[in-house]
Amino acid sequence: MLNSNIPGKIILEDGSSFNGHIIGPYIEKVGILAHYTSYSGYQEILTDPSTYGQSLVIQYPLVGNYGINRVDYESIQSHVSHLITREICRFPNHYKMNKNLEDYLNKMKIPAITGVDVRQILNHSKSKGPLKAVIVHDGITIDEGLEIINNHEFNKTDLKFLSTPIIYEIPGNGPRIALLDLGLKQSLLKKLNQEGYHVTVLPWDTTWEEIEDLDIDAILISSGPDLPVVREFVLKQIKPNIGKYPIFGIGFGYLILGEALGMKPSLIKTGIHGIQMIKDIQNGKLIQASQNISNTLCSPEQNDINEIYKYVNLNSNAGFISKYHLILAVSFYPEGSPGPEEGQSFFATMKTMVQRRGNNA
């Protein structure tokens, strides 16, 4: 049963609160605010594993107008803590729709709140950095909400639904790619399949020795939630072995490869979620791309690393290449989904690097 008539509020860890009406299940979960600028693609966002533990604040004023369909899932599970919106469409309509958003929230046990001034939350968060949040009914006091937040511990080692537990292959006639699954999206697998790659998907905790036992031409590190236990393990495997294979990174994989090369982090207080304008430095064109990343990297200072993408509004790096180290990485989703597919030159550059390595092998 929907709780859409229950007055509720969001309480943030700094003691501020914002009123609205609760929909979906009433569960006192804790999440970290993440502000999304995308104007569509809420189903892909809700099922993107990199949204693990996030309280999604959708800045576009209306959500749910085309329901939920059977096609646009990025993973089987939803990984978010909350959905926070200005308005949820009560009577959606689309020929692909098989359920409405409210039914989906109930099925996935995602607490949500609507009727909230999402712009006010964003403006409040800009100077604060990432804030924990809880959705509660109107009878809960600020102090009681803060107690819920303070007593909550994020289970940073729970990767049961974020990464594959087993190795599996997606056959193709082209080069063989080892895809390290840190929380990959299904749309990336589809794109690699369209490009003709033979893809071997690996669990996040695959060792370098296990990777070397495979007959592969390159490695791709997927996007995913920035979990310290994962970052530390993957860095330990990749950093000493840079240059042995072409290595590519997207999202979280971009951050890991940047750290492996000694690039400095550039913290964005509200993170980078949804669609952003990016400059392709190689041709001077502006592109739009979607992403979900907690921070980015400073422009490279090393001579053997070239900046190839840059955020227009943030003046931060969005992608780099090192032909010397055989590394290419971008902070955004080059496959799109949701959003524009204007960053797909990533895949052309990736293919060139893999082929060049094969010719020199």
Residues 176 and 123 in one domain: no
**Do 134 and 181 share a domain, yes or no?**
no
Query: Is 82 among the domain residues?
Result: yes
| 360: Cβ contacts below 8 Å, ≥ 6 apart | none
Residues 215-249 as b/e (b if ≥16 CB within 10 A, e otherwise) read ebbbbbbbbbbbbeebbeebeebbeeebeebbbbb
Find the CATH number of the domain harbouring 340: 3.40.50.880
Q: What is the pLDDT along the chain (361 residues), one digit of tens a residue?
A: 345 568 999 999 999 999 999 999 999 999 999 999 888 899 999 999 999 999 999 999 999 999 999 999 999 989 899 999 999 998 999 999 999 999 999 999 999 999 999 999 999 998 888 899 999 999 999 999 999 999 988 765 567 778 999 999 999 999 999 999 999 999 999 999 999 999 999 999 999 999 999 999 999 999 999 998 999 999 999 999 999 999 999 999 999 999 999 998 888 888 899 999 999 998 899 999 999 998 899 888 888 999 999 999 888 899 999 989 999 999 999 999 888 889 999 999 999 999 887 666 5
Q: Tell me, what's the pLDDT at 2? A: 47
Same domain, yes or no: 173 and 301 = yes
Domain assignment of residue 161, yes or no: no
- Cβ pair 229, 156 in contact under 8 A: yes
199 and 145 within one domain: no
Are both 179 and 309 inside the same structural domain?
A: yes
Domain that holds residue 17: 6-150
Task: List phi, psi (to 5°) of 252.
Answer: -60, -35
Is residue 339 domain-shared with residue 197, that is, in the same domain? yes
How many domains does the chain contain in total?
2
Looking at the domain assignment, is residue 162 inside a domain? no
Residues 116 and 233 in one domain: no
Asked whether residue 215 is assigned to any structural domain, the reply reads: yes
Last residue of a domain, one of 106, 122, 150: 150
Q: Are residues 54 and 143 in the same domain?
A: yes
- Are 213 and 295 members of one domain? yes
Tell me if 35 is assigned to some domain. yes
- pTM of the entire predicted model: 0.94
Q: Which SS3 state, helix, strand or coil, does residue 237 take?
A: helix
- Specify whether 175 is located in the same domain as 315: yes
Does residue 273 sit in the same domain as residue 124?
Answer: no
Task: Please give the single-letter amino acid code of residue 340.
Answer: P
Kindly state whether residue 229 falls inside one of the protein's structural domains. yes
Residue with tokens 């550059």: 349
pLDDT at 154: 72
Give the H or E element holding residue 82.
Answer: strand 82-84
Contact 224, 252 (CB under 8 A): yes
Cβ neighbours, 10 Å, residue 135: 30
Query: What CATH number does residue 142 fall under?
Result: 3.50.30.20
Q: Which residue, of 117, 150, 183, is where some domain finishes?
A: 150
DSSP structure class, residue 331: S
The last residue of one of the domains, among 124, 150, 176, is 150
262 belongs to a structural domain:
yes
Residues 328, 180 share a domain: yes
Question: Is 1 a domain residue?
Answer: no
